[in-house]
Chain A
Amino acid sequence: QVQLQESGPGLVKPSGTLSLSCSVSGDSISTSNWWTWVRQPPGKGLEWIGEIYHGGHTNYSPSLKSRVIISVDKSKNQFSLKLISVTAADTAVYYCARNPWGKTGLDYWGQGTRVTVSS
């Protein structure tokens, strides 16, 4: 059974850096999948942040591209999200998820981790 688990600080100061990791079990990060980050501000809909393929190819949301980096650590079988210069607008539940190559559909999701940007 594939499982994803987000981890990282729940509170980040304005202008600081949000750093989250997603640990993958039941699958190798090196398989044919796009490893994805999605967020959901309180009471709002889903927003795609970006994705990475195991070879290191990334795609980012144009609205976040200047502030976001997604990376893979094959030795730990995990991938990570880094978002710099955060503001209150970045307060959200952050999810990691898997999208199989060649398909449209995020088939496995983490439970989500709530990140609040506040001083």
Chain B
Amino acid sequence: EIVLTQSPATLSLSPGERATLSCRASQRIINSLAWYQQKPGQAPRLLIYDASNRATGIPARFSGSGFDTDFTLTISSLEPEDFAVYYCHHRSNWPPITFGPGTKVDIK
């Protein structure tokens, strides 16, 4: 089973700052990684698919990068609505498909 590790667990930042979230896979997964945003009481929303492609309607301030085992989600300048929990998710050598434990981005 491929394990995804996200860091940090919590990121405390102010609006306008840059957020850098990390997701590390226990095995090589090429580019089979997605990123989601989840707000309380809501379903997750797809932000990035196949490691670096923005999903439909996602603002350009969100970007994904990485390959094989190390991946990054960057939010270039935090907007008030970006404070949420972010999950990574792989789809390589499945089943199982797994999610990372999440990174909470909260207001400093």
- Please state if B91 and A99 are interface contacts (CB–CB under 8 Å): yes
Does B11 count as interface, using CB distance less than 8 angstroms? no
Residue among A45, A51, A60, A95 making CB contact with B87, cutoff 8 Å: A45
- Please state if B95 and A104 are interface contacts (CB–CB under 8 Å): no
- Please state if A45 and B43 are interface contacts (CB–CB under 8 Å): no
B30 to A, closest residue via Cβ: A104
Does B55 count as interface, using CB distance less than 8 angstroms? yes
Does B107 count as interface, using CB distance less than 8 angstroms? no
Of A46, A60, A63, chain B has the most CB atoms within 10 Å of the CB of A46
Residue among A50, A51, A61, A95 making CB contact with B43, cutoff 8 Å: A95
- Please state if B50 and A105 are interface contacts (CB–CB under 8 Å): yes
Contacting B at CB under 8 A, from A85-115, are 95, 99, 103-107, 109-112
Count A interface residues, CB 8 Å. 23
User: Using Cβ atoms and an 8 Å threshold, which residues of chain A touch B78?
Assistant: none
Q: Secondary structure of the B side of the interface?
A: loop
- Please state if B34 and A61 are interface contacts (CB–CB under 8 Å): no
Residue among A61, A63, A105 making CB contact with B46, cutoff 8 Å: A105
A112 to B, closest residue via Cβ: B43
A105-B55 contact, Cβ under 8 Å, with A45-B101, A45-B102: yes
Contacting B at CB under 8 A, from A26-58, are 38, 45-48, 50-51
User: Using Cβ atoms and an 8 Å threshold, which residues of chain B touch A59?
Assistant: 94-95, 97
Give me 29 A-to-B residue pairs in the complex whose CB atoms sit less than 8 angstroms apart, sorted by A's number: A45-B87, A45-B99, A45-B100, A45-B102, A46-B44, A46-B87, A46-B89, A46-B99, A46-B102, A48-B89, A48-B96, A48-B98, A61-B96, A61-B97, A62-B95, A62-B96, A104-B32, A104-B33, A104-B91, A104-B92, A105-B34, A105-B49, A106-B44, A106-B89, A107-B49, A107-B55, A109-B44, A110-B43, A111-B43
Additional pairs, 12, CB under 8 Å, beyond known A50-B95, A62-B96? A45-B99, A47-B99, A48-B98, A59-B94, A59-B95, A60-B95, A62-B1, A103-B49, A104-B31, A104-B91, A105-B48, A106-B34
